Amino acid sequence: MKHLLFTLSWIVTFAAHAQDKPKLVVGIVVDQMRQEYLYRFEKKFGTGGFRRLISDGFMLKNAHYNYIPTYTGPGHASIYTGTTPAIHGIIGNDWYDKVGKKDVNCVRDERQKPVGNDKGNGDVSPWRMLSSTITDELKLATQKRAKVIGLSMKDRGAVLPAGHLADGAYWFDGLSGKFISSTYYKPGLPVWLDKFNVLNLADQYLNKEWKTLLPIEQYTESGPDDSPYETKLKKDDRPVFPYKLKELRTQYPNFDLITTVAFGDDLLTDAAKAAVDGEELGKDDITDFLAVSYSTPDIIGHAMGPNSVEIEDTYLRLDKNLEDLLSDLDKKVGVGQYVVFLTADHAVADVPLYLKDNKLPAGIFHLANVEAGLNDYLKKYFGEKKIIEKIYNDQIFLNQEAFDGDLKASGIDMLVATELIGQYLLRVEGVADVYPASVLRSADYGEKGLKGNAVRGYNRKRSGDIAYVLEPNWIGWGGIVGTTHGSGYTYDTHVPVIFYGWGIKKGSSAQYHTITDIAPTLSVLLKIKFPSGCTGQPVGEITDY
């Protein structure tokens, strides 16, 4: 028996290397996943999900985001372009457009219309992303014969990974309970997705009860289920298991509840399997690409925090989703015929109040109060002149019209205003440092530390005039319950990176790597060009053998 297993293993390995390229690449991004979760929940994972990827693949144990802010939009763009916001231009999920003087979304495109639901959020495209993606380069290398599909519960989680040349990108629409798209791709949904939507799986999942997979007393890797640091899903109720979704859904618009409970991952896995079938991915000798982004962990993580039983149960269920998806790929594409990478778009901070209650430094940065105080402070020097136009994503946009006039005088006034703002902010509790645009523009792209993260996240045309960073475990969002992400500290930057399947040897590395190394590593494996703005480097531990 052992001889037979060895022979089968040798045949699969030989076939994988004899084949010039994999039949399919599957990119899996988990929204808001810490590397630490792989260690904390390891004993409760099965053998076919996370453990399969880790034991039979290659894991980077020390992979990090190397820029600020660590948000969903920039994260997905950085993974797939192999560069940072300074170059690919996705500087946030939303940001202030200082030319148009309005807030904009990273994928919103008013020139497009929704497909699948006229009232859905389908006016989107990847047009604001300034670099090509690994998926774009695969399309170009194959004369567009490779199929590229993006899937997510969030529009940006599907659109940015799929790139500019995708055959389709599809995301969940809470209004209809269906997966929809945009006219940027096609005028209608593919037949396979129409058939999938008819199943009304979101409705079926929302008639279930969310209870823990294991007896709740076994969730010793998490804090108490009844915690004061968690958001209540139901008004005037406790955030505890079990959650009776049939009752809860009446308090949420249409099908929105599905994205806030673990069954959202089940629904996306169902959609991914349908896409493999419907698009016939991996069925010929031309490599295809399926980009899947699991959004639900982020929404649950924001509400409940990383120490919650809800998060642990979400990841135990996600482990089963991964096992289901990998088994499906084994059957439809073939063992050893596809390559998978799994990573996250960012990690997450602990709930600040929880840390404070446990005598650790942390806090909430109340922006409205700081902005009011800053404006009053500036009035002492500039009178009623409006100096600050907008504060967004920890960046201050100055009102350029306030400095119109004599070039020399206005230049001096701007320098004075910038210095005054910096001095004020550094006296505010929770602020670690302040970087004027002139400092970020003149700094080297390879700068280390927090300043380097700020440099790589700073886009000269889109970012503000002054950037500030908060102290560790300070967040500029929320209050007593829940948490967020966005900083350049390790709790937000340290994420899993695992490669598995075709052409990937088994092993791990504790060497430092950045998230921007994923795309060029895939480029080497697929023998195609690096994305146009790529600044990352191939992971030598994987490619050099």
H or E element at residue 380: helix 367-382
Rounded to a whole number, what is the largest CA-CA distance in the chain? Answer: 87
Q: Residue 342 and residue 504: Cα distance in Å, rounded?
A: 13
Q: Residue 328 and residue 67: Cα distance in Å, rounded?
A: 36
Torsion angle of alpha carbons 358, 491, 320, 135, nearest 10°?
Answer: 160
81 is catalytic: no
If you ran DSSP here, which 8-state letter would residue 42 be given? G
Return the residue matching tokens 């806030």: 260
Tokens of 24: 């399919």
CB 292 within 8 A of CB 29: yes
CB 352 within 8 A of CB 474: yes
Q: Which of 396, 387, 267, 347 is nearest to 65 (CA)?
A: 347
Q: In sequence order, which ranges of 94-224 are alpha helices (DSSP H)?
A: 134-141, 155-162, 191-198, 201-205
Q: Which of 489, 506, 475 is nearest to 354 (CA)?
A: 475
CB 352 within 8 A of CB 364: yes
CB 476 within 8 A of CB 367: yes
Active-site residue, selected from the candidate residues 7, 70, 72, 521: 72
Q: Residue 514 and residue 493: Cα distance in Å, rounded?
A: 9
Q: How far is residue 464 from each of residues 26, 94, 453, measured CA to CA in Å?
A: 36, 13, 15
Cα 381–chain centre separation: 42
Q: Residue 256 and residue 241: Cα distance in Å, rounded?
A: 19
CB 305 within 8 A of CB 479: no
Q: Which of 513, 157, 516, 488 is nearest to 349 (CA)?
A: 488
| 148-152 and 168-173 strand pairing | parallel
Q: Residue 389 and residue 308: Cα distance in Å, rounded?
A: 39
Question: Which residues carry out catalysis?
Answer: 72
